[in-house]
Structure 1
Amino acid sequence: MAVGWAKDGAVQEQIDSTVEESVERARRQLPTGESLSHCEACDAEIPPGRREAIPGVRLCVICQEERDREQTAHGHYNRRGSKDSQLR
């Protein structure tokens, strides 16, 4: 049941759109091309199993984990805003 001016299913459409955008962003961040034999950040050897499992890998596990932590620490901006802010 929709309330106010929103059409039926508007909330689900927004959720679906957010999920689709997140999946596309993650796909764009996947490495491509030939894997490196040594990490581009610390020059440690990248194990052959990792290079085979992730085509285009450029970082060792330790450096990749650090980069992932840095990216998640920044958070994401909700550009759509809350419903309350849209009604003002």
Structure 2
Amino acid sequence: MAGGWTRDGAVQEQIDDTVKDAVAAARARLARGESLETCEECGEDIPPRRREALPGVRTCVACQSSLDANVRHATINRRGSKDSQLR
């Protein structure tokens, strides 16, 4: 049951596209390559177990927590209804 001028099933397609976009964005943020031994933010040593668990890690846990707190999630208005555009 789609609303407005959309065809049936369009709402699920919008949800699927939103999830696919979020997964692609998360994969793009993943570190790649060789892990650093010291944090590029603060210079502290990165524990060996963290480097083993996350290949390509570049920050310590404290700095990564700070960076994660500043991530803004884009909200994409995939609906054409007037109500969703007014929010």
TM-score, normalised with respect to structure 1: 0.85
Residue type at the aligned position of 1:10: A
Residue pairs, 1:49-88, within 5 angstroms: 49-71=49-71, 74-80=72-78, 83-84=81-82
Q: Deviations over 1:15-64 (max 9, x none)?
A: 00000010011001100000000000001100000000000000000000
- Structure with larger RCO (C-alpha < 8 A, sep 6+): 2
Root mean square deviation, CA, Å: 2.0
SS class of match (1:77): coil
- Structure (1 or 2) with the greater helix fraction: 1
CA distance in structure 2 between the aligned counterparts of 1:26 and 1:37, rounded to whole angstroms = 23
Consecutive unaligned residues in structure 2, runs of 5 or more: none
SS class of match (1:20): helix
Consecutive unaligned residues in structure 1, runs of 5 or more: none
Alignment coverage as a number of residue pairs: 85
Counterpart of 1:37 in structure 2 is: 37
TM-score, normalised with respect to structure 2: 0.86
